[in-house]
Each structure stands twice: as C-alpha cells, then as structure tokens.
Amino acid sequence: MRSSSVSAPSEATTAGVPRKATAAAALGTVLEWYDFAVYAALATVIGRLFFPSDDPTVSLLVTLASYAVGFVCRPLGAIWLGRLGDRAGRRSMLAITMVIVGVSSLLIGLLPTYASVGVLAPILLVALRMVQGLAVGAEWTGGATYLIEHARTGRRGLFASIVQASTVLGFLLGTGVATVIVRLVPQDAVDSWAWRVPFVVGGLVAAIGLFVRLKLDESPAYAELRNAGPAAPGPTESAERQGTRRNWLLLLGIVFGITVHGYTATSFPAFLAGTTDLPLADALTTNVVALCIQVPLIVAAGALSDRVGRKPMMVGGLSLLALATYPIFLLVSGGTVLGALLGQIVFVTLFAAVSGPMAAMFVEMFPTRVRSTAFSSSYNIGVAVFGGTAPFVNTLLATRTGIDVAPAFYLIFGAAVSLLLLVRITDRHAEELR
C-alpha cells in the first residue's frame, strides 16, 4: 500500500504544478520583498518617528542600518528553518515563514513611536526587523524548493522562475504602495497614521497566505523520501555527503557575482541620485520601468532553461553581463533619463538570463534529504555577505574614487568569479534530458 501511494501518478507529475501550490509559494516571496521595499521607501519617515535626531541624515542612516539587520539575520534563519524543512517537511516550513513575516509586518504597523514610548520604540522596531530577517532567510529558497519538487522534469525551470520573478514583483509592489501614500497623503497624515497602512496590509495578506499554505499537500519528492525511511549508511550516502559539501561551497561562491548584480538592479535609483545630476523622481521612474520589463523576462528565461539547460543560460548571461557592464554604467551615469532607462533595461534583460534558471539549478544541486538546509544556508550566507553590501559598495566606489563607472569593475569581478565556479557545476537537468 505504501509503495503504491508513492509511485502513483499525481496532479503534480501528470499536469504540472497545482495552481494552489504555485500561488502559495509565490505569495510568500512577494510579501517578503514587499515588506523590505516598503521599509526602504519609507526610511525617511521611519527615521523621523523612531530615530529622531537634529540631523535628518543621522536619522536616515540609523534607519537604513536597522534595514540591514534583516540581511544579517538571514543566514541564521536559513539554517534554522532549512533544517525544519528537511525534518518536518516543506509545507510546515512555509507555513512558519508566512506567520513570522506576516506577524512582524503587522506589529511594525502597530508600533508606538519614539514620541510615545521613547527609546523602547526603536528597540522594538529593530527586534521585529531581526525576526523578519530570520523568516526571509528561508522563504525564497523554501518556495523554490517546494515548487521544483512538485514539477516534473522539463518544467522545473519555469516554475522556479515564477518564485524568482516574485521577488521583483514584491519589490515593485512595496515601492509603489509607499510612493502612492507619500504622494497623495499630506506629510502630517503620513507621519501620524498613513505610514502604518502598508505594514498592516502586509500582515492581513499574510493571514490569507497562511490559510492557503495550510491547505497545501506536501511536495511529492519529500513525501516519497519520508515514506522510504532513513537512508542506510554505505558508499552511496558517503558520496552524497561529499557532493553536498562540494556544491555548498561552490554555490556560496557562485552567489557572489549573481547577487551583486541582482541588488545593483534594484538599487540603481540610490546610485543615480548619489552620483549623477538625475533627479530622484526620474531615477525611480526609470528603475520601475526596467524592473517591470524584467519580471516576464525572468519567467521566459526559466522556461527556456527547461529546453537548453540551466548552465548554458547562466554562463551565457553572466558572460554577456561581464562584457556589457562597463558600457551600461557609462550609459546610466551620463545624467540623462534616456541613458538611465536604456542602460537599466539592457542590464535587467541580461540578468534575467541568469536569474531565471538559477533557482532550479541551485535546488537541483542538492539531494532531497538535505536540500532545504544546504540550499538555504549556502545561498543566504552569500546574499548576506555580498548582496546586502552591494548598494553600499557601489556608491562607495563611485564617490570615493570620483569615477561614476567604478562599480562596473566590482560587478565584472563578481561575474568572473561566478563563471569560474559555475562551470564546475553539473547541470543535472541536462543529464535528465539525455
């Protein structure tokens, strides 16, 4: 009876991933980046209310530091929740991350400000940002793992790319909501109550997401592993462990070049406003247009990787980025709206070829038994070290050297490192199709 339940065809293996599973996985990633984007977009408001200072710049810097706390906690959450995903199941982990992200968002929206409770207000805010960071460390990787373990061979790139596209969609949504509030609501009202609205809405959306996730079935790959019982020690298990360690280290290095490009794509407005004469409003507009174009391109690249393989797509995309990054920075640093827009469009188009297939390839690097822990921990350590610091490093290089295109050399170096390591990875999707 048990073996028949494992081997019997299911909706996931005969007709692709159930829509409910796709929506539930993508929703968590959208909400994760929605919250991060709202916090960043309202940084000046939050600085006035929670970190008051005679110098507005000091308030803003402290607020941004509290924003960065979320990145610091990502690896810890990845290890803790990743292990939970391998022991208790993917569905349980996704439910817990949704609770943490949603409750944290809601509580931030309900926090008293410094004027009401003094220093307790910023302490509570930073604590909630740390808790949110724990969940973020496993949300994207958990959603990608869950969908790929549902999808049949030949569709994994497509469904994994949906989760990746959801990161950009969440960023756009959060920035858009915050921008509308700031533009349409008087500043006194924003400081009084309106800043809370996006966070409370995030908490309510998380409640819906939790309800959906609790209705999910366990992923077929994990269910089969659980039914099979513990693996017997022997040469196969030893080889599996060695392969996992090797791929863990390789992935950590590969993430370098990929994540510095990814976070550069979303931080172009800060770079442009800080190093060129382009008004912030124009910088934001060009970035939003480019990111809107990037969303469908990511999904298209993921689907294409199901036909041509993950490695060729990613190697090709990174190689083109290494060649085009310097001309792109020449274009965007020219101080014109057209140059900024065209440069960013080219940048996100090439990066989509990398980011579309990457979730599927990274998941396929690890065996089911330790996939959640290995993938989440390696990826998130790389993101915390390299991705979270990319906007700071880019701006620092440009301002300290006086060369607007200086960040291009950092990105080119990152792409070269990732390429050297990427070629050492086995494209398991290509092997399956042989």
What type of residue sits at position 91?
Answer: R
What pLDDT score does 4 carry?
A: 35
DSSP structural state of residue 386: I
What pLDDT score does 142 carry?
A: 87
CATH value of 13-220 in 3.10.20.30, 1.20.1250.20, 3.40.630.30, 3.40.50.2000: 1.20.1250.20
Q: What span, in angstroms and rounded, lies between the C-alpha atoms of 78 and 80?
A: 6
Place of tokens 């796709």: 22
What pLDDT score does 58 carry?
A: 67
**CA nearest neighbour of 363 among 148, 153, 151:** 148
* Structural tokens at position 129: 């940002």
Q: What span, in angstroms and rounded, lies between the C-alpha atoms of 343 and 324?
A: 10
Q: Which residues lie below 8 Å from residue 299, measured CB to CB, with a gap of 6+?
A: 158, 161, 162, 165, 356
What φ, ψ does residue 118 adopt, rounded to 5°? 70, -140
* Run of H or E residues at 262: helix 235-266
**CA nearest neighbour of 267 among 128, 415, 407, 400:** 407
DSSP structural state of residue 88: T
Q: What span, in angstroms and rounded, lies between the C-alpha atoms of 142 and 29?
A: 10
Least confident residue range of 24-28, 361-365, 368-372, 386-390: 386-390
Average pLDDT on 184-192 reads: 89
What pLDDT score does 63 carry?
A: 67
What pLDDT score does 229 carry?
A: 63
What pLDDT score does 433 carry?
A: 53
What pLDDT score does 412 carry?
A: 94
What pLDDT score does 340 carry?
A: 92
What type of residue sits at position 419?
Answer: L
Comparison of pLDDT for 8 and 339, the residue scoring more: 339
Average pLDDT on 313-321 reads: 94
Superfamily of domain covering 237-434: MFS general substrate transporter like domains (1.20.1250.20)
CA distances (Å), 98 to each of 126, 298, 427, in order? 19, 24, 31
Q: How many CB atoms lie within 10 A of CB 232?
A: 7
Average pLDDT on 29-43 reads: 84
- Greatest Cα pair distance, the chain, in angstroms, is 71
Average pLDDT on 239-263 reads: 87
Least confident residue range of 228-232, 248-252, 291-295, 407-411: 228-232
What is the residue extent of each domain of the chain? 13-220, 237-434
Nearest 5°: the CA angle 92, 230, 246 is 85
Q: What span, in angstroms and rounded, lies between the C-alpha atoms of 255 and 278?
A: 31
**CA nearest neighbour of 351 among 407, 293, 398:** 293
Q: Which residues lie below 8 Å from residue 338, measured CB to CB, with a gap of 6+?
A: none
Comparison of pLDDT for 381 and 9, the residue scoring more: 381
Place of tokens 């509308």: 180
**CA-based Rg of the chain, rounded to a whole angstrom?**
22
The model carries a pTM of: 0.82
Q: What span, in angstroms and rounded, lies between the C-alpha atoms of 117 and 181?
A: 25
Query: Does residue 407 contact residue 270 with C-beta atoms inside 8 Å?
Result: no
Q: Do 13-220 and 237-434 fold alike per CATH?
A: yes
Give the tens place of pLDDT for each residue, 82-95. 999 998 888 889 99
Average pLDDT on 328-354 reads: 92
Confidence of residue 252 (pLDDT cuts 50, 70, 90): very high
Q: What span, in angstroms and rounded, lies between the C-alpha atoms of 65 and 407?
A: 21
